[in-house]
């Protein structure tokens, strides 16, 4: 196997920012290092640098933090030109990677793509798409900000309707500015077919986008804590993992349990593993807090968790619930559930529906509809064999080793 010099760029280090994209980028970095490649991980950081330096070392010499930020959140532009046109350029010249694999431009400036191409004209530039930020100004969610209705396709006119303070011309120029930066990318990677199609509809040539799922590490033998059916709990154990915000659908899940009659509800327990409720809008906080009070004894809020804790936490779950109200892309938490042989109950849209097949490896319900989710819970009670059927239908998710090999093969393509 040819050893490669690879630079992986992410918008955060998972030691600090525990988002799916950050974790995916870092796991790929670790796998390349294990395979013996000359790999460097560069993560944007909002931490104050020592002495005003643009870069610092995080854990070891080949893990670097890039101390910068974008100044224009509309264009994703970094007007602090010294950080990109000087410091980043000098770093690229020193490292001389053959491949620069971006996992984001967010918070660094979309101009970083242009600088890589200018400084390293022979390098292969690969970009893994993780959501819809380039397409959608509404935090990349493709949700209409006021109605929270799903948006099927962006356009300057549609985007102006969501953000009337920006003209259609502003949105047209935004699209052109981002596409100019994207034009230097040799190949894009999409973790789901759904996300790929969104970017094809936006204007990226389909032949330039390869679908490669984000791989996850295999469980070690001693960490395999899959559920023993013969020793199952008398209650149906539901689990929610991830950020607690307005778009992840926790309120939909709680509403479904509130609507359930008390006798049926006694058959369920829900464990919530997540954080950041205190940073959400006041009305959302109040809605969740009120539901938690009404569901005392059924629902338990455990706070944040570390990724390494997931296998043990999932050992106490019969079903993982992923009730997001936006399209999602390729939720890594679903792969982690399947790795532990835990079936998933998910909203029936986007990357969630692509992974979770109804009555095969999990169940789906109508997005944003508590009554639909309630009917799903009722079907679980009415059919005790449903869990066993869906668990048997789970196939192992792609491993980080398999994903790394697919990415490496892409690097070698002309």
User: Residue 178 pLDDT more than 50?
Assistant: yes
User: Residue 170 pLDDT more than 70?
Assistant: yes
Q: Widest CA span of the chain, in angstroms?
A: 67
What's residue 159's pLDDT? 96
Backbone angles phi, psi at 193, to 5 degrees: -65, -35
Cross-strand pairs, 368: none
Task: Check if the beta carbon of residue 327 is closer than 8 Å to that of residue 132.
Answer: yes
For 315-329, the pLDDT digits (tens) are 999 999 999 999 999
What's residue 226's pLDDT? 53
The CA-atom distances, in angstroms, between 212 and each of 73, 228, 400, 402 are 29, 32, 11, 10
What's residue 225's pLDDT? 54
Taking residues 248-273, what's their average pLDDT? 97
User: Residue 223 pLDDT more than 70?
Assistant: no
For 34-83, the pLDDT digits (tens) are 999 999 999 998 877 666 678 888 888 899 998 887 888 999 988 666 66
The CA-atom distances, in angstroms, between 335 and each of 103, 150, 346, 395 are 19, 24, 13, 10
User: Residue 11 pLDDT more than 50?
Assistant: yes
Least confident piece of the model among 160-174, 221-235, 241-255, 353-367: 221-235
Taking residues 376-395, what's their average pLDDT? 97
Taking residues 108-127, what's their average pLDDT? 94
What does the alpha-carbon distance between residue 15 and residue 279 come to, in Å, rounded to a whole number? 20
At 230, the pLDDT band (50, 70, 90 cuts) reads very low
User: Residue 211 pLDDT more than 90?
Assistant: yes
User: Residue 294 pLDDT more than 80?
Assistant: yes
Residue 19: strand, helix, or coil: coil
Would you call 60 exposed, middle or buried from its count of C-beta atoms within 10 A (0-12, 13-18, 19+)? exposed
Task: Check if the beta carbon of residue 278 is closer than 8 Å to that of residue 198.
Answer: no
CA-based nearest residue to 254, from 303, 284, 292: 292
Tokens of 379: 């079907």
What's residue 233's pLDDT? 66
pTM of the model: 0.91
Residue with tokens 């009305």: 283
Backbone angles phi, psi at 393, to 5 degrees: -85, 0
Task: Check if the beta carbon of residue 181 is closer than 8 Å to that of residue 111.
Answer: yes
What does the alpha-carbon distance between residue 363 and residue 323 come to, in Å, rounded to a whole number? 11
User: Residue 228 pLDDT more than 70?
Assistant: no
Residue 70: strand, helix, or coil: coil
Q: What are the chain's domains?
A: 5-215+399-412 (3.40.50.2000), 221-392 (3.40.50.2000)
């Amino acid at each position: 196997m040819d050893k490669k010099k690879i630079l992986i760029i992410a918008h955060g280090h998972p030691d600090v920012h525990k988002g799916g994209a950050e974790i995916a980028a870092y796991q790929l970095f670790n796998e390349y290092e294990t395979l013996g490649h000359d790999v460097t991980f560069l993560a944007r950081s909002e931490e104050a640098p020592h002495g005003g330096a643009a870069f610092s070392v995080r854990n070891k010499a080949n893990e670097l933090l890039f101390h910068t930020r974008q100044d224009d959140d509309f264009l994703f532009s970094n007007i602090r030109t010294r950080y990109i046109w000087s410091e980043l350029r000098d770093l690229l010249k020193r490292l001389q990677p053959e491949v620069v694999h971006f996992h984001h431009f967010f918070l660094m400036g979309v101009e970083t793509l242009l600088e890589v191409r200018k400084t390293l004209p022979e390098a292969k530039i690969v970009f893994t798409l993780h959501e819809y930020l380039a397409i959608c100004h509404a935090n990349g969610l493709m949700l209409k900000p006021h109605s929270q209705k799903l948006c099927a396709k962006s356009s300057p006119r549609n985007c102006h309707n969501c953000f009337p303070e920006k003209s259609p011309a502003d949105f047209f120029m935004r699209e052109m500015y981002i596409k100019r930066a994207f034009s230097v990318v040799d190949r894009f990677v999409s973790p789901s077919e759904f996300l790929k199609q969104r970017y094809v509809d936006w204007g990226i040539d389909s032949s330039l986008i390869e679908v490669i799922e984000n791989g996850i590490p295999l469980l070690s033998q001693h960490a395999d804590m899959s559920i023993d059916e013969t020793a199952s709990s008398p209650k149906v154990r539901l689990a929610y993992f991830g950020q607690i915000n307005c778009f992840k659908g926790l309120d939909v899940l709680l509403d479904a349990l509130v609507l359930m009659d008390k006798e049926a509800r006694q058959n369920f327990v829900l464990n919530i593993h997540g954080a950041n409720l205190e940073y959400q809008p006041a009305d959302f906080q109040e809605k969740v807090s009120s539901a938690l009070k009404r569901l005392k004894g059924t629902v338990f809020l455990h706070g944040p968790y570390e990724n390494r804790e997931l296998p043990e936490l999932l050992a106490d779950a019969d079903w993982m619930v992923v009730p997001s109200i936006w399209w999602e892309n390729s939720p890594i938490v679903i792969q982690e559930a399947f790795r532990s042989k835990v079936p998933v109950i998910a909203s029936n849209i986007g990357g969630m529906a692509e992974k979770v097949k109804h009555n095969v490896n999990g169940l789906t319900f109508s997005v944003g509809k508590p009554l639909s989710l309630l009917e799903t819970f009722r079907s679980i009670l009415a059919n005790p064999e449903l869990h066993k059927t869906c668990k048997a239908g789970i196939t192992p998710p792609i491993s980080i080793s398999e994903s790394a090999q697919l990415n490496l093969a892409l690097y070698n393509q002309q």
